[in-house]
Structure 1
């Protein structure tokens, strides 16, 4: 009975409950099959099928990233104007059309047009998808539902990666064309899922809505966005910096890198829902972000040990460091969801969620080069100031979130003081 109960509990934390939470998780998994397939096979597709040079691919993707950064806030405002489900659905249909057009792209100019448009569409749909989940669910269920979606996303990414392996093994033009057309079909199927989700009532908008960029003047909120965005550097550390460290400063076999990626996927699928407990309110989300920051600092202190160990002990140290970083990712992600679910006002949620994502976009710009220079290029001593940096962020995030929580959002009236009553969170 004990074993059966353990299995039942494990399943409950992986398989979402019936209803809207499960529907959102299923669409996330379907979408991730296409997204994961392209992430794994895009570099070869661009160079082999489109005939682009590595320099052209890098330049195009960098320009697309800049468009995503600049467009996140104004494009997020589309959600407030037209509704999250409508923007989400339109974005998926546009994604499908753009991927279907990939095989007909001729030269760098055509490639640039497609990747830039995809970046703009993804900036809008990323906000709309998150706002829909927040608006459609009761406050107590929002973070848990996002955790189930992330668990399902990782399952889909894994399936997509497996399919990409088959495509790369076949290595023909027909296989690459079939890959992007299959991805287009996956996005259309996802659009059908989204179309069947419950319609949400219109959110009352203020009589004088603020401009789409006005949210950038909300200093407490933008400070939270910056700190939370910097904490998403766990992604860069795991996928970029850690492999570079293993290759250049340890005697571990290269296959360890693939094993650690697999470990990351498995633990996120199994533990993400458990790790989201307590992050469904603002203060709990802030504490989760702080714990995530301190765990990242712990990773930065443990990893350098693998540079002086040998043989099996090196692998043990790497697994220990990677596990610390995975747990940090699990907890920090829950903290981020809690903050995006509670701090933005309902009437301006699209613009605010878009602004919150700016911190993550900034991390993508500075973290790969900055953390590689500190952690890898220094030979190892740079991990210690890096750890100190994350400790400082962790200590700052709780008081900064408290500052944002007691400050009314733009366009909102300051709450009436009430003795013994908590300030309501929209």
Structure 2
């Protein structure tokens, strides 16, 4: 009996962790850094408002500015990753993030807050681009999407745990408690980024060592527009974290804790299902199909959320749960589509630069998404759900033609993921 239990545990671990090797070490590093990120996202805004004395408007302005600067930062650090190696640049942006976290502990004015939060935003977003470029160089093309799916499962689990640990500081709700939290996050982040030293180094191709040989990226506006479509569909994440709590509490009869429960359901399902939901994203055709499916599924979720407005508590809760299940399915498929399309349409010798440009869509979503979602959901009496559904349907309908054009302009055939690999050593 114990042997059967051990076997089940081994199968469960195998479904949540990549196989031994570079992918396993990447997962460990991602888990550690995600603990810090989860703690930061759960406690930073409260520190800046309640501990540092800033207004919510000042914090909002700072976060929006940081998001805008991150668009250029992703492109810059993506190119640097191609030129000097993604592992090295990943650790550089990790170091910048640690410095920003330490500086944030002494913020006590808006003038100090702006440069610190901008450094935090740029380094955090650039870290995602450089880490993905590192994964692309360390993992074989056939295993790339599967590895990225593993890492997203690990990241969500780590973020959830980090957020729960941050609740200790939130409970005390003092400046010193938040400062201790930020010091702890900085230490965890430093340790996590140091683990990338154990990932094999990916070197740029020899012909890229001279600046004049470095390719300009991307040559195709369709590639960038593909990323924008993915960013539109990715508004589902903003709906979950920003719009839905306001809708649940202010516009439905569902219990107020339902907002937190729905987020927990989403996180758990992503941890358990992301690897399985990513099947089929290895080809451009498969990834495009997942992007379209994600858009239509999110479009279907919006009117379901709207139904909760007029229902009594029980039926409103059921409608909200069904909506989150649809939203989560969209998020799972869209993530897989992002990986498949961004890597398949990018040459290995300029992967970092291409990924930096592709990320414009998701970065702009983080900047303008909260304002758009709040305006549509709370400022229209509920009819905004149908406008949001229309936007999702539009993105889904555009996916096929835009991706096909990007594929023609890139000159890559279907079935090729992450064309070639940089040399590693």
TM-score of the pair, normalised by structure 2: 0.90
Could you tell me which residue of structure 1 aligns to residue 307 of structure 2?
305
Shift of 1:8: 5.7
Shift of 1:328: 0.8
> Superposed, which structure 2 residues align to 1:155-304 within 5 Å?
155-205=157-207, 208-209=212-213, 215=218, 218-304=220-306
Distance of 2:108 and 2:299 partners within structure 1: 46
Say which SS state the counterpart of residue 144 (structure 1) adopts: helix
Shift of 1:247: 2.1
Shift of 1:54: 2.7
Could you tell me which residue of structure 2 aligns to residue 58 of structure 1?
60
**1:105-151 deviation per Cα after TM superposition (whole angstroms, max 9, x unaligned):** 35322222211222232343221101001111111111111111111
Shift of 1:305: 1.4
Distance of 1:108 and 1:166 partners within structure 2: 26
Distance of 1:369 and 1:308 partners within structure 2: 25
Say which SS state the counterpart of residue 309 (structure 1) adopts: coil
In structure 2, relative to structure 1, the CA distance for the partners of 1:424 and 1:317 (3 Å cut) is: closer
Task: Name structure 1 gaps, 5 residues minimum.
Answer: 409-413, 416-420
Shift of 1:102: 2.4
Say which SS state the counterpart of residue 380 (structure 1) adopts: coil
Say which SS state the counterpart of residue 307 (structure 1) adopts: coil
Whether the 8 Å CA contact 1:250–1:308 is kept in 2: the answer is yes
In structure 2, relative to structure 1, the CA distance for the partners of 1:355 and 1:388 (3 Å cut) is: same
Distance of 2:403 and 2:317 partners within structure 1: 38
TM-score of the pair, normalised by structure 1: 0.90
Could you tell me which residue of structure 2 aligns to residue 356 of structure 1?
358
Whether the 8 Å CA contact 2:305–2:320 is kept in 1: the answer is yes
Say which SS state the counterpart of residue 279 (structure 2) adopts: coil
Shift of 1:390: 1.5
Shift of 1:423: 8.0
In structure 2, relative to structure 1, the CA distance for the partners of 1:49 and 1:365 (3 Å cut) is: closer
Partner of residue 110 from structure 2, selected from 101, 108, 126: 108
Could you tell me which residue of structure 1 aligns to residue 38 of structure 2?
36
Could you tell me which residue of structure 2 aligns to residue 122 of structure 1?
124
Could you tell me which residue of structure 1 aligns to residue 422 of structure 2?
none
Could you tell me which residue of structure 2 aligns to residue 140 of structure 1?
142
Matched, 1:98 2:75: no
Distance of 1:91 and 1:59 partners within structure 2: 23
Partner of residue 23 from structure 1, selected from 22, 25, 34: 25
> Superposed, which structure 2 residues align to 1:308-319 within 5 Å?
308-319=310-321
In structure 2, relative to structure 1, the CA distance for the partners of 1:68 and 1:422 (3 Å cut) is: closer
Say which SS state the counterpart of residue 13 (structure 1) adopts: helix
Whether the 8 Å CA contact 1:203–1:346 is kept in 2: the answer is no
Distance of 1:69 and 1:251 partners within structure 2: 39
Task: Name structure 2 gaps, 5 residues minimum.
Answer: 420-425
In structure 2, relative to structure 1, the CA distance for the partners of 1:123 and 1:246 (3 Å cut) is: closer
Could you tell me which residue of structure 1 aligns to residue 371 of structure 2?
369
Shift of 1:276: 0.8
Whether the 8 Å CA contact 1:87–1:124 is kept in 2: the answer is no
Say which SS state the counterpart of residue 407 (structure 1) adopts: helix
Distance of 2:63 and 2:296 partners within structure 1: 32
Distance of 1:80 and 1:378 partners within structure 2: 46
> Superposed, which structure 2 residues align to 1:315-394 within 5 Å?
315-394=317-396
Let me know the Cα RMSD of the aligned residues.
Answer: 2.3
Say which SS state the counterpart of residue 183 (structure 1) adopts: helix
